């Protein structure tokens, strides 16, 4: 009798411990992790630490790269909360995004924001950086004017007066 009671206890304990380990694994459903897109390689480069805000020429080109986990159709680029037109180039392992600064931002600070959703889920990411756009007049003032070079006298052939005399 003691043997059957002991055997029952062993069976019950083994069932309890074995069922607990089966519930520890997700056998039935697979859980997919979403990888958010990452933004890199900002052009012009972003501000470093407490350094100066990068200045760019008026109506110049800006750009950045987005990881391949991004859905290229979900990418949005805004400057001062205004959507701008941009071009997405597929580079196989990442996407390159290029846009042109609108003339409305000349001579102002501008925050460039970007947003994208991932391909493999509904996770998303956003990033951005601050730039200062020069005025067109500042650009002209900074470029040194080409000074007219003093005109060099052309060397004239020396004429030997004795050689030209006809006798």
Q: Is the peptide bond before 96 cis (omega within 30 degrees of 0)?
A: no
Q: 125 lies in which domain range? A: 39-142
In a domain, 107, yes or no: yes
Q: How many DSSP H helices and E strands does the chain contain?
A: 2, 9
What pLDDT is stored for residue 62 in this prediction?
93
Q: Please write the tens of the pLDDT for every residue from 131-162.
A: 999 987 655 555 555 454 555 555 555 555 55
Q: Could you tell me what percent of the chain has a pLDDT over 90?
A: 43
In a domain, 121, yes or no: yes
Q: Please write the tens of the pLDDT for every residue from 92-129.
A: 999 999 999 988 888 889 999 999 999 987 899 999 99
Kindly report the average pLDDT of the chain as a whole number. Answer: 78
- Domain containing residue 65: CATH number: 2.60.40.10
In a domain, 153, yes or no: no
In a domain, 11, yes or no: no
Per the structure, the count of domains in the chain is: 1
What pLDDT is stored for residue 64 in this prediction?
95
Are β-strands 124-133 and 109-117 bridged in parallel, bridged antiparallel, or unpaired?
antiparallel
What pLDDT is stored for residue 70 in this prediction?
94
In a domain, 9, yes or no: no
Neighbours of 134 (CB within 10 A): 19
Q: Considering only CA atoms, which of 97, 40, 98, 38 is closest in space to residue 69?
A: 38
In a domain, 115, yes or no: yes
pTM for this structure? 0.61
In a domain, 6, yes or no: no
Tell me how far apart the 2 most distant CA atoms of the chain are, in Å: 158
In a domain, 73, yes or no: yes
């Amino acid at each position: 009798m003691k043997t059957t009671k002991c055997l029952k206890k062993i069976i019950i304990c083994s069932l309890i411990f074995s069922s607990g380990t089966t519930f520890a694994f997700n056998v039935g459903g697979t859980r997919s992790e979403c990888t958010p897109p990452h933004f890199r390689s900002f052009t012009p480069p972003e501000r470093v630490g407490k350094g100066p805000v990068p200045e760019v020429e008026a109506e110049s080109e800006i750009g950045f790269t987005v990881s391949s986990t991004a859905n290229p159709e979900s990418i949005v680029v805004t400057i001062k909360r205004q959507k701008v037109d941009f071009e997405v180039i597929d580079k196989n392992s990442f996407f390159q995004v290029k846009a042109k600064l609108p003339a409305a931002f000349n001579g102002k600070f501008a925050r460039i924001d970007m947003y994208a959703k991932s391909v493999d889920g509904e996770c998303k990411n956003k990033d951005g950086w601050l730039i200062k756009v020069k005025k067109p007049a500042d650009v002209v003032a900074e470029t040194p004017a080409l000074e007219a070079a003093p005109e060099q006298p052309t060397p004239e052939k020396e004429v030997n007066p004795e050689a030209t005399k006809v006798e």
